[in-house]
C-alpha cells in the first residue's frame, strides 16, 4: 500500500492556504454537528519515526473546538518491566492488557479522539518481549475488534500512516539529534534502526494491507511535504464525517439509547404484583412469555467462538443442594485460609484474578462476595458494582466502563454484576436494540479473550435461587429494618419479567460459555452451599493456574 503515495508531490504555498482554510471551515461546522448528533470521531496517526506526525496533529487542532477534542500520545514503553513479566514465565504480559490504554483514553460519542501512535505500535513493542507464540494474531485481532466495535457503536474511524523515504527519514532524525532542544526525541536505537528501513517497509506494508478494513480504512500521507499532507488529512476527515452524518443514526438504536438515558438514574417504572388480581397476573405473565419468545427468536444461533461442550441451562439447576450450618462453618474456615495463602502466591506471580457475579435478585451475591473478600488482604482487591450507567458511560461503547475498571496484574477485581448487563437487563428492558445486544455476545467474548491473553484468571458465577425461596427472602427483607434497603419495588416488578430473563440467561450461557471463560452455577437456595462452592471454585482455579 505504501507505493500508493507519490512522495515527489509538492503543493505550492499560494494554492495551499485557500484550500486548507476552506477545509478547516467545513471541519469546524462538521465537528459541531457531530457533537449535537452524538457522532464520535477517532483519528489514528501511525508512521515512520521522524515523519512529522506530531506536527500534522498540531496543524489539524489549531482551529478546532478544544472542548470536544482530545489527543492521546502513546505511553512510554518500559522494556525492563516487559522483560520481568516475560522472565517470570507466568503467562502475564504486563500490569494491564495492551488495549486498555486506548479504551481508557477514548472520548465520548460527539467528541474527537486523536491517537498519536496507537494499538499497532503498542502491539509491535510488546511482541518483542513475550514468549506467547499466538499473541501476534491475538493482538492484531484485538486491534480490529476495537475498531469494529467503535464503528458499530457510532464512531467514525480514520487511520493515517505518515510515509517518508529512507533518505528523508535519515536526514530528519540526524537534524533532530543534532539540535540540543530536540535531541531527546532520537535515541541511539532510532539511529541504529535506520539501516533496517527496507525490512521495516515490508512489515509496515503488510500490516497496512491486513488491517485496511471497510469500517476503518488507511490513508497513506505524504510526510515529505507538510502542505500536501495537511490537505489530505483534512479532506479525508471531512469526507468521512460528511458520509456518516448523511447516513444518520440507526432509529432502533436511537430509541433504545433514549430509553436508557431516561433510566440513567436507575429508576424503572415499577408495579407490585401482589396488588393485582389473579386474572391480571395471568395476563401479565402471558405477555411476558410472548416477549421472551420474540427476543429468543432474535438471538444469534451460534458464536464464532468455541463453547464448552455442555453449557449450563436454568432448567438443569439442582436447587436442593445444601450444607448444614456446622458443615458450612468448618469448610468456610478451611477454604478462606486456603484462599488467603493462594492470594499471596497469586500476587507474587502477578496473576490478575477477576470474579464476575451475576444472578437472581436476592440470590446471595453480596454474601458470597463478602466471604471471598474476608479471606484476602484488603489492599489486594477492588469491588466494582454495576448500577445503572451514567450519561457519560452511555455515550461510550458498553464495554468502556469495564475496560476502565480492571485490576492491575497481581490484584483481584470483583464484579457485583458486570458487562453482562448488555445481554440481560438491557435486552429485557429495551435499553439496547436487538442489533446491539445481538452483537454484544461476541463483543463480550472478544473482551474476555483479550483478558485471557493478558494472563488474567476470569471466573464467572451465576448465583441461582428458586422462585419460592426468592419470595421468602423478599418478604423477610421487607420485614427486617436493617435489610429493607436491599429490597425495592423494582425487585418485585422483576418477578413479572421471569420469562424474559430466563430466555436471556439461557442465551447468555449458550453464547458466552467459552473454553477460557465458562460459567459456574452457584446453587444458592442454600446460601451456605453456594458460598463454599464459590470459594472452592476460586481456590481450585488458582491452584491450577499457579501450577500447584
Q: Are residues 236 and 286 in the same domain?
A: no
- Residue segments in the chain with a per-residue pLDDT below the cut of 50: none
Q: Count structural domains, the chain.
A: 2
Q: Are residues 24 and 78 in the same domain?
A: yes
Q: Are residues 137 and 95 in the same domain?
A: yes
Q: Are residues 25 and 126 in the same domain?
A: yes
pLDDT of 265? 53
Q: Are residues 245 and 310 in the same domain?
A: no
CATH code of the domain covering residue 513 = 3.40.50.300
Q: Are residues 243 and 332 in the same domain?
A: no
Kind plus residue range of the DSSP H or E element containing 42: strand 40-47
Q: Are residues 486 and 536 in the same domain?
A: yes
Indicate whether 143 belongs to any domain. Answer: yes
Kind plus residue range of the DSSP H or E element containing 242: helix 226-247
For residue 164, the enclosing domain spans 2-249
pLDDT of 389? 93
Q: Are residues 301 and 234 in the same domain?
A: no
Cβ count within 10 A of residue 530: 28
Q: Are residues 289 and 433 in the same domain?
A: yes
Indicate whether 72 belongs to any domain. Answer: yes
Decide: 94 and 82 in contact? Cβ < 8 Å: yes
Tell me whether strands 112-116 and 69-73 are parallel, antiparallel or unpaired.
parallel
Cα distance between residue 234 and residue 239, in whole Å: 9
What does the buried/exposed string (b/e) look like for 486-495 if buried means 16 or more CB atoms within 10 Å of the residue's CB?
Answer: bbbeebbebb
For 90, the grid coordinates are 507466568
Indicate whether 382 belongs to any domain. Answer: yes
Cα distance between residue 325 and residue 17, in whole Å: 81
Q: Are residues 143 and 208 in the same domain?
A: yes
As to burial, measured by CB atoms within 10 angstroms (0-12 exposed, 13-18 middle, 19+ buried), residue 310 is: exposed
pLDDT of 136? 81
Cα–Cα nearest to 473, from 462, 463, 483: 483
Indicate whether 102 belongs to any domain. Answer: yes
pLDDT of 155? 97
The residues, any chain, with a CB within 8 Å of residue 436's CB and separated by 6 or more, are: 253, 256, 398, 422, 426
Encode pLDDT of 28-76 as tens digits: 999 999 999 999 999 999 999 999 999 999 999 988 999 999 999 999 9
Indicate whether 261 belongs to any domain. Answer: no
How many residues comprise the chain? 548
Q: Are residues 173 and 99 in the same domain?
A: yes
CA-based R_g, the chain, Å: 27
Decide: 20 and 230 in contact? Cβ < 8 Å: yes
Phi/psi of residue 520, each to 5°? Answer: -115, 130
Indicate whether 255 belongs to any domain. Answer: no
Indicate whether 9 belongs to any domain. Answer: yes
Cα distance between residue 475 and residue 497, in whole Å: 19
State which of 183, 214, 249 marks the end of a domain.
Answer: 249
Indicate whether 259 belongs to any domain. Answer: no
Phi/psi of residue 324, each to 5°? Answer: -75, 165
Q: Are residues 106 and 187 in the same domain?
A: yes
Amino acid at each position: 500500500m505504501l507505493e500508493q503515495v507519490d512522495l515527489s508531490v509538492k503543493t505550492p504555498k499560494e494554492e495551499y492556504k485557500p484550500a486548507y482554510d476552506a477545509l478547516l471551515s467545513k471541519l469546524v461546522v462538521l465537528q459541531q454537528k457531530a457533537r449535537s448528533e452524538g457522532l464520535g470521531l477517532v483519528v489514528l496517526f501511525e508512521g515512520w519515526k521522524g515523519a512529522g506526525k506530531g506536527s500534522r496533529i498540531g496543524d489539524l487542532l489549531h482551529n478546532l473546538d478544544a472542548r470536544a477534542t482530545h489527543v492521546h500520545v502513546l505511553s512510554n514503553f518500559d522494556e525492563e518491566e516487559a522483560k520481568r513479566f516475560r522472565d517470570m514465565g507466568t503467562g502475564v504480559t504486563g500490569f494491564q492488557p495492551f488495549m486498555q490504554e486506548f479504551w481508557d483514553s477514548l472520548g465520548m460519542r460527539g467528541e474527537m479522539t486523536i491517537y498519536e501512535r496507537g494499538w499497532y505500535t503498542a502491539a509491535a513493542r510488546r511482541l518483542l518481549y513475550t514468549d506467547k507464540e499466538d499473541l501476534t494474531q491475538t493482538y492484531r485481532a484485538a486491534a480490529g475488534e476495537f475498531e469494529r466495535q467503535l464503528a458499530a457503536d457510532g464512531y467514525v474511524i480514520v487511520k493515517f500512516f505518515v510515509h517518508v523515504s529512507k533518505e528523508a527519514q535519515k536526514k530528519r532524525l540526524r537534524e533532530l539529534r543534532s539540535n540540543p532542544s530536540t535531541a531527546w526525541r532520537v535515541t541511539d536505537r532510532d539511529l541504529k534502526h535506520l539501516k533496517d528501513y527496507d525490512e521495516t517497509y515490508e512489515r509496515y506494508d503488510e500490516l497496512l494491507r491486513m488491517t485496511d478494513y471497510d469500517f476503518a480504512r488507511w490513508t497513506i500521507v505524504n510526510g515529505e511535504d507538510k502542505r500536501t499532507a495537511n490537505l489530505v488529512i483534512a479532506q479525508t476527515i471531512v469526507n468521512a464525517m460528511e458520509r456518516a452524518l448523511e447516513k444518520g443514526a440507526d432509529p432502533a438504536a436511537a430509541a433504545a439509547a433514549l430509553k436508557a438515558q431516561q433510566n440513567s438514574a436507575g429508576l424503572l417504572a415499577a408495579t407490585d404484583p401482589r396488588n393485582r388480581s389473579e386474572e391480571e397476573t395471568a395476563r401479565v405473565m402471558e405477555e411476558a412469555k410472548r416477549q421472551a419468545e420474540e427476543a429468543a427468536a432474535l438471538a444469534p444461533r451460534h458464536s464464532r467462538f468455541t463453547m464448552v461442550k455442555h453449557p449450563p441451562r436454568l432448567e438443569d439447576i439442582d436447587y436442593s443442594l445444601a450444607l448444614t450450618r456446622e458443615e458450612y462453618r468448618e469448610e468456610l474456615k478451611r477454604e478462606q485460609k486456603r484462599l488467603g495463602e493462594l492470594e499471596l502466591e497469586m500476587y507474587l506471580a502477578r496473576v490478575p484474578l477477576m470474579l464476575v457475579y451475576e444472578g437472581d435478585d436476592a440470590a446471595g451475591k453480596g454474601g458470597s462476595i463478602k466471604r471471598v473478600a474476608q479471606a484476602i488482604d484488603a489492599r489486594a482487591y477492588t469491588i466494582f458494582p454495576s448500577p445503572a450507567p451514567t450519561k457519560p458511560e452511555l455515550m461510550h461503547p458498553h464495554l468502556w466502563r469495564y475496560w476502565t475498571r480492571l485490576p492491575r496484574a497481581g490484584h483481584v477485581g470483583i464484579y457485583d454484576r458486570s458487562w453482562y448487563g448488555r445481554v440481560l437487563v438491557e435486552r429485557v428492558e429495551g435499553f439496547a436494540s436487538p442489533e446491539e445486544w445481538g452483537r454484544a455476545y461476541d463483543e463480550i467474548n472478544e473482551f474476555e479473550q483479550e483478558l485471557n491473553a493478558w494472563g488474567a484468571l476470569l471466573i464467572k458465577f451465576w448465583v441461582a435461587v428458586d422462585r419460592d425461596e426468592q419470595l421468602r427472602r423478599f418478604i423477610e427483607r421487607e420485614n427486617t429494618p436493617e435489610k429493607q434497603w436491599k429490597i425495592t419495588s423494582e425487585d418485585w416488578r422483576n418477578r413479572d419479567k421471569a420469562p424474559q430473563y430466563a430466555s436471556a440467561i439461557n442465551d447468555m450461557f449458550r453464547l458466552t460459555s467459552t473454553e477460557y471463560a465458562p460459567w459456574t452455577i452457584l446453587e444458592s437456595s442454600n446460601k451456605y452451599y453456594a458460598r463454599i462452592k464459590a470459594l472452592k471454585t476460586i481456590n481450585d482455579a488458582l491452584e491450577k493456574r499457579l501450577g500447584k
